[in-house]
Chain A
C-alpha cells in the first residue's frame, strides 16, 4: 500500500520547524524555499501550532484547476508535479482548502509534498508519521 504523510497530534508540536528544514534539505538546500510542509503558531505560540501537510486527497482539487496538466493523480492520493509543464500560475495554491501547497519564490513553482517521509525522521516529538 502506498503511504501518505499524516499529522498525529499537533498538541505535541513544539514549533521547532525541523520538518520544514528537512524538506528543503532533500534538495541539498538550507532554509525553507523548497519546503512542502509548514508549521506556524495558531495565534501566538502559547496556543500551539498548526502543522500543514498535503492530505493526499483521492480527488485533488489542485489537480482539477491545473490548466497545463502539470499535476497528475498520485497512486494513494495527492498529486505529482511535472515541473516542465508548470507555468507557475498559482491556481493550485488557491484551490487547496488546507493551504498545503507552498510556493518556491525563487523557482516560481509550487512545492508539492511527495509523501516521502524524510521529514518524519527529524520530528523528535512524533507529531507526523507516514501511514498507509
Chain B
C-alpha cells in the first residue's frame, strides 16, 4: 500500500475522504517532514488551540512496517500549553497500525458536538458514540472497554484520553497501548476539546519490495546491531531510569524544584533499585526487539480486608522519576509508583505535572500561595498523598488556583508570582538535566523545547568529563546540526533511542530498499529545511527567540560545568537562530 495516502476525517460533519499527496511524501519522506506541512496547511494563523479549527495530524514513515524501530507516530497540532507548535511522538503499535491501515498520515479536522471515538479499520471509518465513555474516571478502563468493542487485536492501536484530556488540562496526554504516550504539549486537551475520547486504528495491508535479497540483508544488519551490539544495551537492560544515579552523582539531577542538584536517597528511585525490587514485566513497541518499556509491579494490601491485595503494573522511565521523584522529593519507591499511577489514571504528562507541582510546593513554602488557594492541601516535599490529591484537583479545577495550575507552570507563576523559579522554556516544563549550558540551549532552541530535540545534555556530560570549554557559537552549531539530522530520523519515524544504529550510512541503505536513491548530504539538506518549516510555523504563531524567558533559578545553582551565565545562553540562542535564516 502506498505511503502517500492521507486520510482526512472531519469530526464536525462526520465525514472522511482519502487524498494522495505524493507532493509531500516525495519531498519530505514522512513523519515530521510531512506533518509540519500538513499543519501549516490545516491550521489557520492564530487559531485557538482548543477550538474546532485546530487540526490533529498523525504521520508515519516509509520504513514503518519494513524495518525495526521505525515505530513512532508523529502527532502535530497547535499546543494549548505553549500556544505554539505542538509536536509529540509515541510508539506502541501506533505506527504499524496506521501504516497497515493504509495511510501515511491522518488529518483530523473540526469538532464533535457529542462525545465520539473513531474506529478506523483499513478503508472504513466509523464515528462511534462515546457518550457512555465520557466521564469514565480511569484511562485504563477506557482502553479495556474499547479492546472488547473493536476488532483487530494485535494489529491495532488504541489511543485514548483520561479525565485530564476531557477537562482540557493544557498538558493532558493521549495514552496508547496503556503505557506509551503522546505525552508532551497537550494533545490530550486537543482531543478533549473535540469531544474525541479515543481512536482505534487497525489494518493489515502489505508493503511490497522489489529487491527482496537486498531488503533482507539490510534488515539483518540492523537487527544484529540492535540485539548483538552494545548500542541498545542501556535501553534494553535497566532502561532510561539508569540515568538517575549518574546524573545524581554529577550533581545534575534537578531536585526540590532545582533548589538542589542532587538527592539524598537517590538510589531508592534508581533504575537499579526499581529493577531489583519492582520490575514485573518488559514490553516492546511493535517492531522493536529492545523492549525498553519497564513495568513495575506494585502490590498493595487492602486496609479494610485482610488477605486481599491489589496488584498494579506501573511504567517507569527517567523523566517521570525526575519530575515526580527528585523534583518533588518523593524518594520512597512505593510512594513514587502510586503518584505515577495517578498521573497515568488521569492521563497527564508526567514532566509538566511534576514541574508544576514543584513550583507550587515552593510557592506554598514561601507563602506566595496559602491553603486558601490549595483548598487545604498542604503541599510538602515528599508528601505523595498531598500530591495525588492535588493532581485530582488540577484535573477537576475546583477553583482559580487549580485552573491556573492546569494551564502549566508558566501561566500559574505569571498569575501568582514566582516566575524566577518556574522552570519552563518556551512555555514547556523543563526535562531533568541540569548538566550545563548546552542542555538549556536545547530547551530554549529546540522546536519542541524538549531535551530530545538536540540532546544538549550529552554535550555537557562530555565536556564535564573532558574539561573542554566551548563557545556559545560552537554549542549552537552542534545543536543545529543535531536537531536538523533528527528531523530526518523523525521523518522516518525512527525511535531516537536507535539513533546510534541508524547512522546516515544505514539510513541511505534502508531508503535504497524502498527505491529511493539519496545521499547523506541531500538528507541533511532536507533535515534543515524541515527544521526551518517548523520554525516558520512557530514564528507565524508569535514565537520570539529574543524574548525567551530564562528562569533565574537555573543561573543560581552550580552545574557540573559551573555557574551558568545568562549572556552565554542568550548568545547561543541568537547564534542558533542565525543559522535558521
Contacts and interface: CB of A to CB of B under 8 A. Distances in A.
A34 interface: yes
B100 to A, nearest CB: 5
A41 interface: yes
Contacts of A28: 208-209, 212, 215-216
Interface stretch (A1-9, A10-18, A61-69, A83-91): A10-18
Contacts, number: 94
The residue among A32, A38, A105 with the most chain B CB atoms within 10 A of its own CB is A32
Contact of A16 (B147, B286, B313): B286
Given A30-B65, A44-B144, A46-B295, A16 B209 contact: no
B20 interface: no
Interface residues of B, number: 41
B178 A45 contact: yes
Nearest to A52: B154
Interface string A22-45: 001100111111100011110111
A25 B215 contact: yes
A48 B281 contact: yes
Nearest to A24: B206
B289 A18 contact: yes
Contacts of B295: 46
Contact of B287 (A16, A41, A46): A16
A43 B215 contact: no
Interface of B: 65-66, 68, 96, 99-100, 122, 140, 143-144, 147, 153-155, 177-179, 204-209, 212, 215-216, 219, 223, 227, 281-289, 291, 295, 313
When A and B form their complex, which 9 residue pairs have the shortest distance between CB atoms, in order from nearest?
Answer: A28-B212, A40-B154, A30-B207, A33-B206, A16-B284, A30-B66, A46-B313, A14-B291, A14-B284
Given A30-B208, A105-B122, 20 more contacts: A14-B283, A15-B284, A15-B286, A17-B96, A17-B287, A18-B68, A24-B206, A28-B208, A29-B207, A31-B96, A31-B205, A32-B100, A33-B206, A34-B206, A38-B154, A39-B154, A44-B178, A46-B179, A46-B281, A48-B281
Interface of A: 14-18, 20-21, 24-25, 28-34, 38-41, 43-46, 48, 105-106, 122, 124-125
13 contacts: A16-B285, A16-B288, A17-B154, A25-B219, A28-B208, A30-B207, A31-B206, A31-B207, A33-B204, A46-B178, A46-B179, A46-B295, A48-B281
